[in-house]
A and B are shown apart, each in its own frame.
Chain A
Amino acid sequence: SAVISQKPSRDICQRGTSLTIQCQVDSQVTMMFWYRQQPGQSLTLIATANQGSEATYESGFVIDKFPISRPNLTFSTLTVSNMSPEDSSIYLCSIPPGTGHTEAFFGQGTRLTVV
């Protein structure tokens, strides 16, 4: 199994500011995923973060709005830039199923409210 520590767990931010969310994994993993869950909705994949290369973004998400860092195999950050109330969501990092484990592991989530 794997343990992911995600922080902050929640934040209230002013519009126009940026927030960086951190995820630390207790083992080395090749891929990490970042999801957004808008209120009352399912999880939507924002991007895949690979160590040593630029993140791969899903349709509708761009690097300028959601820059991602992946400096090593145990750590990743997601920044929500120039926030607006529409960015109010839960953001989750995840390790997909892979070698040695066949379930996805998730961080505890960051509940973001933009006012």
Chain B
Amino acid sequence: AQKVTQAQTEISVVEKEDVTLDCVYETRDTTYYLFWYKQPPSGELVFLIRRNSFDEQNEISGRYSWNFQKSTSSFNFTITASQVVDSAVYFCALIMVPLGGATNKLIFGTGTLLAVQP
């Protein structure tokens, strides 16, 4: 069975601190995608990144960076120099490949609530 674990329920930091959100996943499949989504207080889900299981290259986008380690089944997300606007719930998610199958659905972690204090 597939599972995504986000052990950190809530994290509180002060603006300009760096923060890392952890994501650990379980799957027996060798081909899958991993995602991070941001959910601000307004409720919509904002796509942040997708990572293919065959691509372990880390990625940086502005203040955001992602560390994908297949050996430890982790896909951690770091925000550098956090800002108040980063305050949101962040979800890690997993989906099997091939896409578009009848049971093809995103498996979400329980989310991490990040509060960035001014």
Contacts and interface: CB of A to CB of B under 8 A. Distances in A.
Interface of A: 30-31, 33, 41-43, 45, 48, 56, 90, 92, 94, 96-99, 102-109, 111
Contacts, number: 61
B11 interface: no
B43 A102 contact: no
Contacts of A94: 106
Interface in B75-110: 91, 93, 95, 99-100, 102, 104-106, 108-110
A9 to B, nearest CB: 8
B43 A99 contact: no
23 contacts: A33-B106, A41-B111, A42-B109, A43-B91, A48-B105, A90-B43, A92-B45, A94-B106, A96-B99, A96-B105, A98-B104, A99-B100, A102-B50, A102-B99, A103-B35, A103-B47, A103-B50, A104-B47, A104-B106, A106-B45, A108-B43, A109-B43, A111-B43
Interface string B34-78: 010000000111010010100000000000000000000000000
Contact of B44 (A41, A45, A104, A108): A108
B35 A104 contact: yes
Contact of A42 (B44, B47, B52, B110): B110
Contact of B99 (A45, A97, A107, A108): A97
Nearest to A92: B45
A31 B103 CA distance: 10
A53 B33 CA distance: 28
Contacts of B33: 97, 102
